[in-house]
Structure 1
Amino acid sequence: MQELSIMEFVKWFIALLVIMMLISLAMFFIELSNVNSFKQQVNYQIERQGGLTNTAISNINQTSNDYYNGTFTVISDRLNTKVAYGEPVDYVVKGTFDIKILPIPDVKLEFNGTGVSQVR
């Protein structure tokens, strides 16, 4: 009779662990979905500032800190330079995602992007 109660306890423990993992995974994917909106903000800054200038970088960093808790940073070969009209600017968005609930190390991912200067 005691084996049944222990087995029931183990079943509940495994079920709660699986539920916690699913919730943690869902929260990770929700944070991951913010990448596209952040890349849109980076493209907007490239278009309006004529590249990844000092002003654009400061606006991007402020956006990352204000709306995304400092999750994203932008790396590019053309940092702090103004480019000609219609010239593409390649960049990499580096994101560090904290895994909630479970004690798992942070996930670091990189996303490529390209913006085009619209300043004449």
Structure 2
Amino acid sequence: MVRKGEKMKIDVKKFSKIQDIYISPDPQQHRPAWIWFAYIDDDLAVAAGRGRASSWWNSAMISRKGQIHIDGKVYQVEFEPVTDKENIDKFIDSYRQRSGYSWDPAWEKNFRPTVMRLKFLKELGKSTR
């Protein structure tokens, strides 16, 4: 059992072959948004391709909790904004490597102010996505 405020033990590198996830900062109000993800060290992280104009990112900043659908499962997560340059650079580098030939340098401008780590709280069950 995970205690309040503790991070669920999960090896997020097992998701490395998966390209994208569905994220829902407010599951009762919004349908899940399809996004890509990357890593900061051993943590899963996301950023908004449309920057601060992204509705899912704005909802995540307000709620600070939500759900992700990945690898056939739904997890409750906490959104933790990343503000230090070193970790934002790690995210950008990871994202660039994961996206390969489809990387667009213009994305970096939007990503930088919106990077968030995902702190896994608990598994909620099977995903329909």
Higher normalized contact order (CA 8 Å, seq sep 6+, divided by chain length):
2
Q: Which has the higher helix share?
A: 1
| TM-score tier after normalising by the smaller chain length | under 0.3
Structure number, greater radius of gyration:
1
